[in-house]
Structure formats: structure tokens, C-alpha cells
Amino acid sequence: MKLLRNLFVIIFLFAVFVPFGNAEEKRVRWKLAMTWGPTLHPFVDTVENMADMVETMSGGNFVIRIDASNIHKSPFGVFDMVKLGQYEMGHTASYYWKGKDMSFLPLTTMPFGMTTPEQYAWFYYGGGMELMQKAYEKNGMLSFPGGNTGNQMGGWFRKEINSLDDLKGLKMRIPGFAGQVLAKLGVTVTNIPPGELYTSLERGTIDALEWVGPGMDINMGFHKIAPYYYTGWHEPATELQFLVNKKAYDKLPEKYKEILKVAMKTAAYDMYIQNYHMSANAWSTMKEKYPNIKVKTFPDEVLNAMKTSYNELLSKYKKENALFKEIMESKEAYLKKARDWTYISDYLYLKSMSDTE
């Protein structure tokens, strides 16, 4: 992938710079604020890859400085910092801003929804990008896909979940629409910055949490405290976002706008591949290295209740927020045709392989 990226940069540089001869290029210096700390891979890698590509493709004239959350001290303040122009860019997740506008929520992922390939197809070819800009432009920003985690695991729990009663009173870190689904089932839901997750679990502030998948989770050490590791239902295609202040973007030369868009798109997809690789590696050694981890799937009773809760909330917010309704109906219409192909191309392929083993 690194070789492919380097080859792409060379081709793009040739295409961009040859027509302009030796004309003096405008120098641009931007700042980017991340929700994440400096060691949270592959999220940080994605931002660094994007910034490196922008600098290389601009011949060193367009440079983006990256500030992790330990620098700006406001992991959940990225939206406002970019909106106000304190930073030209941000790297975060849209579902953190549901308190500002519910229409941001489905731009990250939705429970029981699209897989990553389905969602990327919707973003780039099914009208998703236009709807995302519609949500952000009224806040003086643009938004672009910023890297996908793939299907996430359902979380780490101190105790096994055998019935709906086991959810009642449970304190859990889980953001997005899934958090509201579980709150409806009696879970006390909270959102905690990534850098505080382990200590919150260790101190008993929370009883359970969901993060990403084994590639990122094992390094965080959650299994030492909460050994029950549940398969996913809630975030099948979690897309991070690059936020861009629109006034700053509009001032860029057209060539720099194209460079930025190409770099963001390339880095975003590379994160999806990198995270898949990390999780595959971690999963292959997890049982041997960490025998205390107990992989579980939620009982049918619990999953059915989650789906019922999801449908009730979905109906409620469609009535309350016109743009949320527009985005969800666009995703639902696209998924209706895309899922048939996913079933044929992926599910039945995997099933046929397992049947012949």
C-alpha cells in the first residue's frame, strides 16, 4: 500500500506541476486539530499520511501542522475550533456532534446498517458526499471521509450479558446512535475521550465500553479488566471525518484544493486497510496470548430488543429532523440495492468456502 501511494504521488505530481512550469507557488500554512492523542494508531497515521501527501504534492508549499488532543486540550471541541477558524482542519467523528444536530449522526455509521464498502459507495457514487456537505456547510465547514474502522466489535464487559436484565443499570461508554439504543434498554450511557477509557474502566466509572476492534483494543489493555468481548451490531462501518473550515478552503488555489481532496481520500482508504491488517494480526494471536478473553455474541433476546429500540428511535428522529430523514432515506435506498450484491459477492462466497472445508 505504501508503494502504491508513493507511485500515485509521483504520477499526480507529474500531472499537476508540468503545466505550470516554474511559476512561483503560493505558500499556505494550516493547522489541524485531532480528537485523538498522539499515539492512537492508525487514526494518527491517517492524518500524518494526508499531511505528508499534501506537502509532497505541493512541492513543500502547502504544509499542515497537526495538533493532537494533548496539545489543544479539547478532544470534543474540534467541531467548534474548526467552525470558528481557530484551526483550518480537524480529524474526528461526526457522531460526536449529535447534540448539535442529529443529522451529523448517520454520517459516521448506524447500527444494523451499511458495511464499509457499501458506505464508501454511497458516499462517492450514491449522493452521500452532497448530503454530508449539506449538513456541514450551514456550520461554515466542509467534511470529507477520514478513514474507516470497518465493522467494530460490540465491546468489553466485566460480566457476561445473558439477558436484557443484565443491561439494566449497566454503565457503558458507547457513542452515537447505538448509545441511545442502549439507553432505551436501561443502560447508563456516557461518552469518554479515548485517552481516559482505560482509567475509567479500571476505576469503575464504567462497567463496559466499546472502542474499535482487536487491532486497537488489545493495546489499550481493556481485556485485563473486562474479559467478555462481544461481537458487533452497532458500528458496521465507522467513518471518521476530515473537517475543513469553508472560508479557509475557499481561499486555496484550485490546485491545492484538488491536492487536499486527493490526499484525504487516499489516506482515508489506507486507514481502512491498515486497521483491517492490525485487527487480523491481533485476532490471530489473541487466544494464545490472552486466554482470559471470552468472545461472545449477544443473545437473540438482546439483539431483537436492540433492533426494536433502533427502529423506534429512527422513526422518532425522522419526524423531528428533516435533514436526518433525508440522509437516512438516501442510505436506506442505496443499501436496499447494494445489500443484494454484498450477499451474493461476500456472504455466499464465504459460506461456500466454509462449506467445502
Residue 118, CB-side half-sphere exposure with 13 Å CA sphere: 27
C-alpha to C-alpha distance for 303 and 163, rounded to whole angstroms? 10
What would the grid cell of residue 250 be? 475557499
Asked if residue 41 is part of any domain, the answer here is yes
227 and 304 housed in the same domain: yes
**pLDDT over 70 at 218, yes or no:** yes
C-alpha to C-alpha distance for 149 and 236, rounded to whole angstroms? 9
Q: What is the CATH number of the domain that holds 186?
A: 3.40.190.10
43 and 159 housed in the same domain: no
Tell me the pTM: 0.92
Asked if residue 179 is part of any domain, the answer here is yes
24 and 99 housed in the same domain: yes
SS (H, E, C) 11-49: HHHHHHHHHHCCCCCCCEEEEEEECCCCCCCCHHHHHHH
38 and 124 housed in the same domain: yes
- Report the Cα–Cα distance between both ends of the chain, in Å, rounded: 31
Q: Could you tell me the sign of the dihedral formed by the alpha carbons of 200, 203, 207, 210, in that order?
A: positive
Give the whole-number percent of the chain exceeding pLDDT 70. 93
235 annotated binding-site participant: yes
Asked if residue 350 is part of any domain, the answer here is no
229 and 242 housed in the same domain: no
Tens-digit pLDDT profile for residues 116-167: 999 999 999 999 999 999 999 999 999 999 999 999 999 999 999 999 999 9
- The tally of domains found in the chain comes to 2
35 and 117 housed in the same domain: yes
270 and 314 housed in the same domain: no
C-alpha to C-alpha distance for 244 and 301, rounded to whole angstroms? 43
Closest alpha carbon to 112 in 182, 208, 178, 162: 178
Per-residue pLDDT band for 19 (boundaries 50, 70, 90) equals very low
Asked if residue 304 is part of any domain, the answer here is yes
Boundary residue ending a domain (252, 277, 302): 277
123 and 29 housed in the same domain: yes
Q: Domain of residue 315: give its range.
A: 155-234+291-320
**pLDDT over 60 at 313, yes or no:** yes
**Per-residue pLDDT at 185:** 98
110 and 259 housed in the same domain: yes
Residue range 196-210: average pLDDT?
A: 97
142 and 202 housed in the same domain: no
Asked if residue 219 is part of any domain, the answer here is yes
Residue 125, CA distances (Å) to 132, 243, 328 in order? 13, 20, 16
Asked if residue 75 is part of any domain, the answer here is yes
How many residues comprise the chain?
357
Asked if residue 118 is part of any domain, the answer here is yes
Asked if residue 332 is part of any domain, the answer here is no
260 and 211 housed in the same domain: no
Boundary residue ending a domain (277, 309, 330): 277
Per-residue pLDDT band for 251 (boundaries 50, 70, 90) equals very high
Is the Cβ–Cβ distance between 153 and 214 less than 8 Å?
Answer: yes
What would the grid cell of residue 286 be? 489473541
42 and 9 housed in the same domain: yes
Q: What is the CATH number of the domain that holds 113?
A: 3.40.190.170
